[in-house]
Structure 1
């Protein structure tokens, strides 16, 4: 068990892992540009299995029967979510996503996340961050739900730009880029603190479940609210499924 510091920055193995993670996140970024966040995020369940296996062989962290059961349940839940995930209506500009992100319901979620993160960082982290695994993972998960929404917006903007509809001229695109960078830095910092302090086999499943759940909630709030922006008869059939959530 570590102390949640920054000693990992001196480890070559950590930097190797960081490089491979960046490569994986680039692929994840592309996926968010072409598929709904509610579909892409649960597929990250595979990382639970990989983390548990690597922790067992490289960190000598034993995965008990309950841990194995938890991994199986994560995979099962992901499969069910993916099978029943709704499709999104086509997005033609980053300004449409901005309209979704500034709806009252999502702004309420955004405000709640910011308040909780500030409370966790300033009050709970100094007092019980090194004894309660939910503190660091909670910060990562809450910020992660915002980063996914921003990554979705930024990825869509870049995809449209490559298709010939330049979205880089809009201030909203650069604002989403700033949010992505801010959220990712905070996530990396506190996720590494959690992994340095607690068992990887404990941190990974808890982080995955919290992150996925919050991302799905954020996605449902953001994209369901946006359905009110369009006349019902103009929506594609797949969007009706989204309204039913």
Structure 2
């Protein structure tokens, strides 16, 4: 009976999984995968177009727009548009929890193609940074709540005009203007976070507007015309303005910095700020338990770690990478040894008769810790204990 019950339960689980992967879900999965491929490749094609245009005109990184006359750049732009359209369509067929994490694949595709086609070396720490960015972003997205049901574009407008989101939008706009008019003229050519910051901040607003516009179109196609509402057209204007700004400063970032670094940093910052904007506007955390929220925060910390690693190691040469890797291995060895030392010191002090004599305890600890790592690596555990026992004469 137990076997039959377990078999039936397994069959039910398999059946539910099959039922979950409906035809629409499969379409959404294929569209999301296609989107990642197109978007990841578009970074490389656009970068090659920017390089070609910069060779015969003013580079985009110093304010030039000669890339607008370069067919290769337009090919990359069209590739990105196709990817974005595929991503937008994927949300119409599959839930966000299935589609959004797949966007991380564009980072891997872009980094691999940059290494192959642009000869932009991705070092071991860059690879680790990419992994951290992907893991952190995926963790956040996988634990994000489901979208709330929206009945009209007017309802979205009401959410967008609540004090919390208006405050967020004001902060984003203020930060964007400060970056554009103060930081970019001084630090745009040396600090990658300046250009990417503008793209990501503006991008979080563009996604909220794109979602509102998508809801309006979906409701219109279902028979409830939303084009008669002025809010639909206001969201359209915001989408156009934000996308133009994003593309302008993303081009500058791609023309100035390594593509393998731009792609993951842009993805992680853009994703993080978009999730933050969605949490504020749609109150996603109101429908989550503390465990889910904490998991999302851990994912965000992972993203910050990956971004930092990418930023600090992007210009390392092979010799520096080898030296840093060796230092990292030594640090990890010490991290393993130090807890053992702490436990042994604590245990031996407790056993010794001089534990109540602070001066003698200090003398022993000073001698014991003079070279503990060398003792741990050459003499082993027993050597540590013997080294400690040699100092018992201080108590006599």
User: Which band: TM-score by shorter chain?
Assistant: 0.7 to 0.9
RMSD of equivalent CA atoms = 2.3
Deviation of 1:16 (Å): 1.1
Q: Is the 8 A contact 1:42 1:212 kept in 2?
A: no
| Residue among 149, 160, 163 paired with 1:104 | 163
Deviation of 1:203 (Å): 1.1
How many pairs were matched up? Answer: 233
In structure 2, the residue matched to 1:179 is 238
In structure 1, the residue matched to 2:102 is 43
Q: Is the 8 A contact 1:144 1:183 kept in 2?
A: yes
Seen in structure 2, the aligned counterparts of structure 1 residues 21 and 177 have a Cα distance that, compared at 3 Å, is: same
Higher RCO (C-alpha 8 Å, min separation 6): 1
Q: Scaled by the length of structure 2, what TM-score is found?
A: 0.55
Q: Which consecutive unaligned segments of at least 5 residues does structure 1 have? A: 228-238
1:9 and 1:115 mapped to 2: Cα distance? Answer: 29
Seen in structure 2, the aligned counterparts of structure 1 residues 194 and 206 have a Cα distance that, compared at 3 Å, is: same
Deviates more, 1:201-210 or 1:159-168: 201-210
In structure 1, the residue matched to 2:344 is none
Q: Which consecutive unaligned segments of at least 5 residues does structure 2 have? A: 1-50, 52-58, 294-396
Deviates more, 1:161-170 or 1:31-40: 31-40
4+ aligned runs moved over 4 Å, structure 1: 32-42, 242-245
2:66 and 2:110 mapped to 1: Cα distance? Answer: 20
Seen in structure 2, the aligned counterparts of structure 1 residues 137 and 222 have a Cα distance that, compared at 3 Å, is: same
Seen in structure 2, the aligned counterparts of structure 1 residues 49 and 83 have a Cα distance that, compared at 3 Å, is: same
Instruction: After superposition, give the CA deviation of every residue in 1:59-100 in whole Å (9 maximum; x if it has no partner).
Output: 110011111112222222233233322112211100111111
Write out aligned runs for 1:120-139 (5 A).
Answer: 120-139=179-198
Seen in structure 2, the aligned counterparts of structure 1 residues 176 and 35 have a Cα distance that, compared at 3 Å, is: farther
Instruction: After superposition, give the CA deviation of every residue in 1:93-123 in whole Å (9 maximum; x if it has no partner).
Output: 0011111111101000000000010111111
Is 1:145 aligned to 2:199, yes or no? no
Q: Which protein has the larger Cα radius of gyration, Structure 1 or Structure 2?
A: 2
In structure 1, the residue matched to 2:85 is 26
1:199 and 1:164 mapped to 2: Cα distance? Answer: 47
Write out aligned runs for 1:1-245 (5 A).
Answer: 4=61, 5-32=64-91, 41-224=100-283, 240-241=287-288, 245=293
1:131 and 1:118 mapped to 2: Cα distance? Answer: 19
Q: Is the 8 A contact 2:195 2:252 kept in 1?
A: yes
1:184 and 1:83 mapped to 2: Cα distance? Answer: 26
2:215 and 2:250 mapped to 1: Cα distance? Answer: 27
Deviation of 1:32 (Å): 4.8
Seen in structure 2, the aligned counterparts of structure 1 residues 36 and 181 have a Cα distance that, compared at 3 Å, is: farther
Q: Is the 8 A contact 1:137 1:190 kept in 2?
A: yes
In structure 2, the residue matched to 1:233 is none
Q: Is the 8 A contact 2:104 2:134 kept in 1?
A: yes
Q: Is the 8 A contact 1:120 1:139 kept in 2?
A: yes
Instruction: After superposition, give the CA deviation of every residue in 1:10-63 in whole Å (9 maximum; x if it has no partner).
Output: 332211111111111112223455677787555321111111111111111001
1:131 and 1:82 mapped to 2: Cα distance? Answer: 31
Deviates more, 1:156-165 or 1:82-91: 82-91
